[in-house]
Amino acid sequence: MSENTETKYADIETQMRTWIARFVVGLNLCPFARQPVESGRVKIVVSDARNSEALLEELQSQLSWLDAEPPAATETTLIVIPEMLGDFLDYNDFLDLADALLEEFGWTGQFQFASFHPDYQFAGTLPGDAENYTNRAPWPTLQLLRENSLEAVLANYPEPEQIPEQNIEAMEQLGSAKLADLLRECRGMKSK
């Protein structure tokens, strides 16, 4: 990997950590994220994959690694995909391949993906709708989530079904323009 690529990927990791701090934790989009973030149990991998086959291999490798790693050491992994899937429709299509990988290796019910993209758009919304920012990130990203951990936190969280509605309301209160500015700021961060 060239020095320029290493610097670029270090910047991307910084941008993602800034996004996690400002969006995910800062705006409380995921009420369960603060503890793993603050305890350093969130792994970020910046992928150099440039095609679906290479990305699927990386997903398999990272899922195998996370499967062997105790949650007390690493709760979740974010795979950031800067070299491909910039088009949201292509990204959305790739999610089917990622889910098929879980099935193929027997990880269905053990892991699931959370999906984030700079142009994320929920069905039935317009591209500029504020609610889309709940799943917008500086780069196309797949988060590997442990289902056991999700079930445990959801069992102890009052009215977890209200989280999406609360997030939409929070995004609408902030407004698309402010959210777009926040996301641009995250994408502009550089590593030290």
Give the residue extent of every domain in the chain: 3-187
Q: Which residues pair with 141 in a beta bridge?
A: 80, 116
CB 130 within 8 A of CB 176: yes
154, containing H or E segment: helix 147-155
CA 136 to chain centroid, in Å, comes to 9
**Distance, CA of 17 to CA of 12 (rounded, Å):** 9
Asked if the model's pLDDT at residue 192 lies above 80, the reply is no
User: pTM of the entire structure?
Assistant: 0.94
Q: Which residue has the tokens 């995921």?
A: 30
Helix, strand, coil percent content, the chain, rounded in steps of 5 = 55, 10, 35
User: Which tens digit of pLDDT belongs to each residue from 1-52?
Assistant: 777 889 999 999 999 999 999 999 999 898 889 999 999 999 999 999 999 9
Q: Using alpha carbons, select from 120, 99, 95 the residue that is nearest to residue 108.
A: 99
